[in-house]
Amino acid sequence: MSRSQISDFVVDEVTENAYIREAYGKTLVELGKEYPELVVLDADLTVSTKTNLFGKEFPRRFFTMGVSEQDMMATAAGFALAGKIPFASTFAVFATGRAWEHVRQSIAFPNLNVKIVATHAGVTVGEDGATHQALEDVALMRVLPNMTVIVPADAVETEKVIRTLVEHRGPAYVRLARAKFPTIFKKSYEFEIGKARVLREGNDVALFAVGIMVYEALEAAKILERDGISACVVNLSTIKPIDIETVVKWAGITGAVVTVEDHNIIGGLGGAVAEVLGEYCPTPMKRIGMRDRFGTSGDGLKLLEYFGLKAKNIVQAAHEILEFNSEKKSVVI
**Chain centroid, CA 48 distance in Å:** 18
87 vs 307 by CB, closer to another protein: 87
Nearer to another protein, 65 or 273 (CB): 65
Q: Which CB contacts under 8 angstroms, 24+ apart, belong to 162-166?
A: 162/23, 162/24, 162/27, 162/28, 162/31, 162/117, 163/27, 163/31, 164/191, 164/192, 164/193, 165/115, 165/193, 166/31, 166/35, 166/38, 166/85, 166/115
- Its sign, for the CA torsion 45, 50, 52, 54, is negative
Q: Which amino acid is located at 301 in the chain? A: L
> Quick one: 36 or 252, whose CB is closer to another protein?
36
320 catalytic per annotation: no
Shortest distance (Å) from residue 67 CB to another protein: 9
Q: Bridge-partner residues for 64, per DSSP? A: 42
* Rounded least distance, CB 3 to another protein, Å: 51
Whether 184 and 13 have beta carbons less than 8 Å apart is answered as no
What minimum distance in Å lies between the beta carbon of 294 and another protein?
25
Catalytic residue among 69, 136, 201, 261: 69
Shortest distance in whole angstroms from residue 148 CB to another protein: 19
Pairing mode, if any, of strands 257-264 and 205-209? parallel
For the chain, what's the residue count? 333
Select 80 or 234, whichever has its Cβ closest to another protein: 80
Residues binding another protein (CB under 8 A): 39, 60-61, 63, 65-66, 68, 70-84, 86, 101-102, 105-106, 109-110, 112
Q: How far is the CB of 78 from another protein (least distance, A)?
A: 2
Cα–Cα dist 5/27, whole Å: 31
Catalytic residues: 69
